[in-house]
Chain A
Amino acid sequence: MVNILIRTIILYLVVLFILRVMGKGDLSKMDPFQVVVLFMIAELAALPIETPDISVFTGLTALLTLLLLDVVISSLSQKCQWFKNLVNGKASILVEKGVINEKEMKRLRINFDDLSEQLRIKNYPSIADLDYVILEANGDMSVIPKPEKNPVTREDMGIQPGNEFLPLIIIADGILYKSNLKKLAKDEAFLKAQLSIQGITDYSQVLFCFSDETGMFKIYPKSESTKGWDIQ
């Protein structure tokens, strides 16, 4: 029993190592190749845990071979476009300049029900509103509406945007994020002064505090009410 526990810990650490080496970039792509590799990693890691006859070393060899293949194929895909197309496939245009590409839809075995469903999910109930619908290589559907159907932006309205900051966590579960406070050019004295106005004397009394894109602090104290306070 303890052996299984130790084997599980070893393989967990190996999978963690593999996912870290693969990197966020690889994981976020989730193209068909990536999905297959991730399924295989899960299966290969589980095999030596479930089957004590198989040595951990055997599992390790398979997992590390998959990692190397994945990294090599990712690197080649980055350097060579035709190789990328060969491994991942290409995006398919289903609607081009408002015209439905029926041939491409048939080739991809997508019917109008599927297309309408996906468009509804993307918040575009009418195909007539769309300029382009693209089925990406990873299976996601990208939608580009006609210019007249695009949402109005600040630029369209001639509104000058103010200074915008990256929203940052200042306190979470009573723990102060000093580096984030520093990034906002504020110090603890300022924060404590603001908290004391709300009757908060210690960070442990704060459930969550963050600065929004305008630089305003939002404070959610630890209490039954989750209503927050704003501090400029």
Chain B
Amino acid sequence: MRSLVISIIALSLILGSWGLFMGYANKSLRNMIQTVKNEVMVEVVQDNWDNSEKALEQVSSSWYRGRKGYSIFLNARSIDDIESSISKALAYVRMKEKANALGELAYLHHQLIFLLENEMILLENIL
């Protein structure tokens, strides 16, 4: 009985902290996805480079605020992919390279969606 209680408490702690993190990550990642799609990409298409840079920096700072949590709970490779994509997109936007910036932003958008969906309790993720 003692073993049962200890193992339930241990797993509850793990799942509880994961649940709290996912609550935060869900909100934060959705905001980032929206910003990349509706603000940064739109501004780049319209050649508003200053606005797109500001919006992308917002995404970047939002990402790095939650970085510790992401690195504890998520796969390190996905985190690396997103960080290198943010850096590349920022560089393309600063250099005003439209095609490259849009390509990299599309990749970043896809990676953020992938990260969010990868942690959801879905049959395709379980199997």
Contact = CB atoms under 8 A, between A and B. Distances in A.
A13 B98 CA distance: 52
Contact of B73 (A55, A67, A72, A74): A55
Interface in B1-20: 1, 3-4, 6-8, 10-11, 14-15, 18
A55 B7 contact: no
Given A60-B14, A61-B14, A61-B18, A53 B77 contact: yes
Interface residues of B, number: 18
A22 interface: yes
Interface of A: 17, 21-23, 52-55, 57-58, 60-61, 64-65, 67-68, 71-72, 74-75
Given A61-B14, A64-B10, A64-B14, A71 B72 contact: no
Contacts of B84: none
A65 B8 CA distance: 9
B4 A57 contact: no
Given A61-B18, A71-B4, A53 B11 contact: no
A53 B7 contact: no
A65 B11 CA distance: 7
Contact of B10 (A57, A58, A67): A67
A64 B75 contact: no
